[in-house]
Structure formats: C-alpha cells, structure tokens
Amino acid sequence: MTTLEGEILEPGHKTGDTGAGADENSVKAGFWRTFRKAAGQIPFAEDVVASYYCALDPQTPGKSKAVLIGALAYFVMPMDAIPDILAFVGFSDDIAVLSLAIATVRANLTEAHRIAARKSLKNLAADKKPD
C-alpha cells in the first residue's frame, strides 16, 4: 500500500479537517437530517442506517470504513450529480451509490449494527431523536 492510500484509508484520518476525517465529520453532522428527508424513498433504509453505524464503528476495517464514509458523505451532500431537492429523482443517485457501497462491505455489517439501526428507525418513527 502506498503512503497516499494509507492516508486516505486510515480510519479517523484527520489532516486539517480535509480528507476522510472531514468526510466522517460531515456524515456525523448531516446523516440524520438527510435520512429523514429521504427515508420514504429508500427501500433498504435499515441497511443504510446499519451502514452508518458500521462506518462509525472503530472495529470496522479501514477499507470498508472508507467505502462507507465516502458513500454516506455523498448521501449527505445537498448538491451532487442529481440535486436532492428534485422530487422523486433527487435521491436516486444517492441510492445507487449507497447500494453499491453496502454490497461491497456487507460482510462487515454486524448484527450489532443492525440492532442499532432498528432501534434508531423505531425512534424516528416515534418522532424521537435516534441514538
């Protein structure tokens, strides 16, 4: 692995708030706000939320974490290939990116991530703050 790859894939990487560390911070800051907007358009919502918990889990391998953080960062960005404000199609590109990321790292989604996802989705349905 080259030095550059190591820097990009390093879990929790922070270099002046650029790179993976900045993406992780963006995901933490914007995930639930964006998820609430998109929840009705995501047919695999539990997998998306489980992926969020997997991406933030220190036990998740670095490469898998990088894939998930990248996909989740794309999801929370308000302006991307298809702007999320467009009705019915705005989250379609996000769904495609998330689907590919989840399929790529599915082996790292643990039962603990899925339990946390179900609990958070239940809290959202009850209009409570997710954990």
Contacts of 23 (CB under 8 A, 6+ apart): 69, 70, 73
pLDDT at site 38: 76
* Domain that includes residue 39, residue range: 23-125
Asked if residue 113 is part of any domain, the answer here is: yes
Number of domains in the chain: 1
Q: Is the dihedral of CA 85, 90, 95, 96 positive or negative?
A: negative
- 3-34 in b/e form (b: 16+ CB < 10 A) is eeeeebbbbebeeeeeebbbbbebbeebbbeb
Asked if residue 115 is part of any domain, the answer here is: yes
Asked if residue 6 is part of any domain, the answer here is: no
Percent of the chain with pLDDT over 70: 69
Q: How far apart are CA 44 and CA 10, in angstroms?
A: 28
pLDDT in tens, 38-94: 777 778 889 999 999 999 999 999 999 999 999 998 888 766 545 545 545 556 777
